[in-house]
A and B are shown apart, each in its own frame.
Chain A
Amino acid sequence: MVKSKKKFNLVRLVGVLIIIYTIPFFFPNAYIAQIANLIGIYMLMAMSLNLLTGFTGQLSLGHAAFFGVGAYTSAIVSKSFGLPFLICLLIAVTVTTITGLLLAIPALKVRGTYLVLVTIAYGEIVRLLMINWVSLTNGPNGIYSISPVSIFGYKFNDLTKSYYLVITVAFLIYLYIKLLMESRAGRAFLSIRDDASAAELCGVDITMYKIKAFAISAAISGVAGSLYAHMYRYISPSSFSATQSQLFLCMILIGGMGTLPGPVIGAVVLTILPEMLRFMQNGRMLVYGILILLVVIRSPGGIAKYLSVLIGKIKKYVHKIRHQRNEVSSS
């Protein structure tokens, strides 16, 4: 039983890998390729937010700020010191993690609605710094011609190559979060979400684990930010606004908060959907709203939950048919 389950998991893993690595062969044009790249980045952001909000229960509406800190740090370090991409990435992740720890200090003292306010404030502070600290960030004009991603001399200079890079990173981080959530630490996060004081009385150091959740979440956002800066080679404060934070939250809400595939599904749906609805201009916010309402009412666990229930039903149905067939053949 266990062996067959392992085998099934391996088959699924290989299947997913084949799909994500053959997608570029079907890119009809640069526009679609661009969207595929953006999906990869947003998957990272949604997974980062899902770890903090979906799994640990700490609602954040300032996640674009982590994204922005990662992007700006990487861009600034790269532009001013000409350091290679990997070093920029490392510095970006470090700085973003530190800001995550800084945010954890006030965030630990409050919960629920007040925590949301703290994260909104954090998002605004970072955005205002980006706009007004002109000597460092070049203000509203943003930072141009950031060096493209290159690892040990290999340049990821076209959209297909950068897609491979970002999707590989997203895949690895997905695996990390999966293993993390199956571990002792992951259960500690879940227990804090469900009942923090009961968790503490089961021996979980809730302060430490909240800090860890903030730090890991921020670090993943740092990776996303750095990749974004070097892939698009241009960043400006408008890419890291509060609207962006809301978008990330919508992704995990629609995809499935607190599930592993949720943020991935959410990132795909909410990146493709606005492109398809481009003709509606501002009317697309209406579609968003309706979509969220539909998900919340029809399937509160998001699309991921809906799919897993659906798959469960199909399996049951198949099992039933097989059973009936066996009975017929045996009689």
Chain B
Amino acid sequence: MSLLKLDHVTKRFEGLVAVNDISMEIQKNRIHALIGPNGAGKTTIFNLITGIYKFEGDIFFDDILLNTLKPHQVIEHGIARTFQNIRLFQNMTAEENVMVGYHCRTKADVLNILYNPKRYHDEKVQSYKKCAELLDYFHLIDKKDELSVSLPYGHQRLLEIARAIATNPRLLLLDEPAAGMNTEEKAELLTTIKNIVRDFDMTILMIEHDMELIMNISDRITVLNFGCKIAEGIPAAIQNDKSVVEAYLGVEDE
């Protein structure tokens, strides 16, 4: 069953067509990779799904039309994402970062403290408990009081994923999660991502440049070039696809 469906989606910036008539489906509980050379429109697709830009065509998430929703509404429906360049809240601790993730799953508002202190208190205790569990899952619990900016790079990446998972998504969009990691860290990341799918009943759509990681982890791959979909299939098929090789390496001159 497909969880996310892009139906003839096109995005134009002025004259430039960043995403050109793309249709694709992401199956539930799978890891789907989105690859392509720089400027192919991968991150733009993430931005379209999460409601940052308006676009032509339709995007359905579990039969809900996402087209007119604002980013925070999309997140509420169960899609979370990370960023190509880590975007944590730098002046907040690791714990606080994850707590922001619980925002859309909790309700206490600015005046609750005055007229409904019990709910304010219960919810606070609950969220902190869940937050501790999640930080523990990512082995970040002993860093919880550190400012996110002072964490090592690999931990920052993990924390960003933890924050995204705190929003309780069914679909997780990872934008180059392995960027800047060494071989060892990449191997760890691979296990982590696979575990997330299993432990949180998650579906993952990820952008990645590291081919080894992609081939090892993905159930299905979509290849973009200049905003167009040029191939889609299982990793083995993509590896041998002529148009993909051409897009990455260029066409041999006669």
Give A residues with C-beta under 8 Å from B. 176, 179-180, 182-185, 187-188, 190-191, 193-195, 197-206, 212, 216, 258
Contact = CB atoms under 8 A, between A and B. Distances in A.
A187 B94 CA distance: 12
B104 A203 contact: yes
B225 interface: no
- Identify which of A180, A183, A202, A206 gathers the most chain B CB atoms within 10 Å of its CB: A202
A62 B113 CA distance: 28
Nearest to A182: B124
Contacts of A190: 89, 91-92, 96, 100
A221 to B, nearest CB: 16
B163 interface: yes
Interface residues of B, number: 39
A179 B87 CA distance: 27
B99 interface: yes
Contact of A179 (B109, B113, B163): B113
A199 B114 CA distance: 25
B71 A200 contact: yes
B75 interface: yes
B72 A200 contact: yes
A184 B87 contact: no
B81 interface: yes
Contacts of A198: 83, 87-89
Contact of A184 (B80, B81, B127): B127
Interface in B57-102: 70-72, 75-76, 80-81, 83, 87-92, 96, 99-102
A179 B109 CA distance: 11
B10 interface: no
B110 A212 contact: yes
- Identify which of B70, B71, B75, B123 gathers the most chain A CB atoms within 10 Å of its CB: B71
A184 B106 contact: yes
Instruction: Specify the main secondary structure of chain A where it touches its partner.
Output: helix
A195 B89 contact: yes
A223 to B, nearest CB: 14
The 3 closest A-B pairs by CB, nearest first: A203-B104, A194-B89, A203-B75
B75 A187 contact: no
Contacts of A206: 72
A184 B72 contact: no
A179 B119 CA distance: 13
B43 interface: no
B26 to A, nearest CB: 19
Contact of A176 (B50, B72, B99, B114): B114
B112 A187 contact: no
A203 B87 contact: no
A183 B72 CA distance: 19
- Identify which of B52, B109, B124 gathers the most chain A CB atoms within 10 Å of its CB: B109
Contacts of B104: 202-204
Contacts of B110: 180, 185, 212, 216
B226 interface: no
Contacts of B113: 176, 179-180, 183
Contacts of B92: 187, 190-191, 194
Interface string B201-222: 0000000000000000000000
21 contacts: A176-B113, A179-B113, A180-B110, A180-B113, A184-B99, A184-B127, A185-B109, A188-B100, A190-B96, A190-B100, A191-B100, A193-B91, A194-B90, A197-B52, A197-B87, A199-B89, A199-B100, A200-B70, A200-B71, A202-B103, A203-B101
